[in-house]
Amino acid sequence: MTIRVILCDDHALIRRGIRDTLADAQDIEVVGEAGDYGELRSLLRDHSCDVLVLDINLPGRSGLDVLHVLKEEGSTLRVLVVSMYPEDQYAIRALRAGAYGYVNKGSDTKMLVEAVRSVAKGRKYITPEIAQMLAESLSHPTAEVAHEKLSDRELQTLVLIASGKRLSDIAAELTLSPKTVSVYRARVLEKLALSNNSELTVYAIRNGLV
């Protein structure tokens, strides 16, 4: 049986790369592509699929937002998150939000095909690195770091600020108003007990977020 896949990533070149990788597998067919949440909703109305390959960093609603929406709607759609972000930033959050698996975009292409096949069968797909992180979170449940208290969007804002991006750039990237990004920044500073962007950057580096 052919596994039908929909891709959702805002970069056409990355979608093409994923599509070409999956095209080499005879049992997988890409039936649609979307660049943001709006396009994805339209696609899902007209096409059924077995696996949604979803990026975290989308304009407007992030991939994590999409996962939360699907979960609230009671959707049975199986989602594989494929992101440029390292596993330690978003993998656990994505799995908690309902994703069936998480693969880094820099991973071997065979891993992506294997992940799609596993998710299509209803099995969770986690790398050895994520398995280790899950094991550690169970062994040391009280050792929660401060940034785990941040919302998904707040964490995204923290990472982008620490990467050297200005608020106006972040607003454009996330399709938000600069005022909204400023609110997220203020919340991050408050929750992490920090004073400015320099301290945010130091915190992010120390905690391996950038």
pLDDT at position 121 is: 95
Sheet strands side by side (includes 78-83): 28-34, 3-8, 51-54, 78-83, 101-104
Give the helix ranges, DSSP H, for the chain.
12-23, 37-46, 63-72, 87-96, 109-120, 128-139, 152-162, 167-174, 178-192, 197-206
| Higher-scoring residue by pLDDT: 26, 57 | 26
* pLDDT of residue 142 exceeding 50: no
Q: Please identify, among 83, 104, 138, the residue that sits at the C-terminal boundary of a domain.
A: 138
* 134 and 158 share one domain: no
Indicate whether 151 and 130 sit together in one domain. no
**How far is 72 from 52, CA to CA, in rounded Å?**
17
Predicted confidence band of residue 126 (pLDDT cuts 50, 70, 90): confident
Answer yes or no: is pLDDT of 98 > 70: yes
**pLDDT at 12 (0 to 100):** 92
Average pLDDT, rounded, for the chain: 88
Q: Is the pLDDT of residue 188 over 70?
A: yes
pLDDT band (50, 70, 90) for residue 133:
confident
Listed residues 78, 105, 138: the one ending a domain: 138
pLDDT at position 140 is 60
pLDDT for the residue 17: 93
Across-strand partners of 205?
Answer: none
Question: Is this structure's pTM higher than 0.85?
Answer: no
Q: Are residues 129 and 150 in the same domain?
A: no
Domain membership of residue 179 as a residue range? 146-206
Residue 134 above 80 pLDDT? no
- For residues 123 and 171, state if they share a domain: no
Q: Please indicate, yes or no, whether residues 76 and 27 belong to a single structural domain of this protein.
A: yes
Residue 101 CA to residue 98 CA, distance in Å, equals 9
Whether residues 163 and 90 share a domain: the answer is: no
Average pLDDT over residues 173-178: 84
pLDDT of residue 8: 96
**Per the structure, how many domains does the chain have?**
2
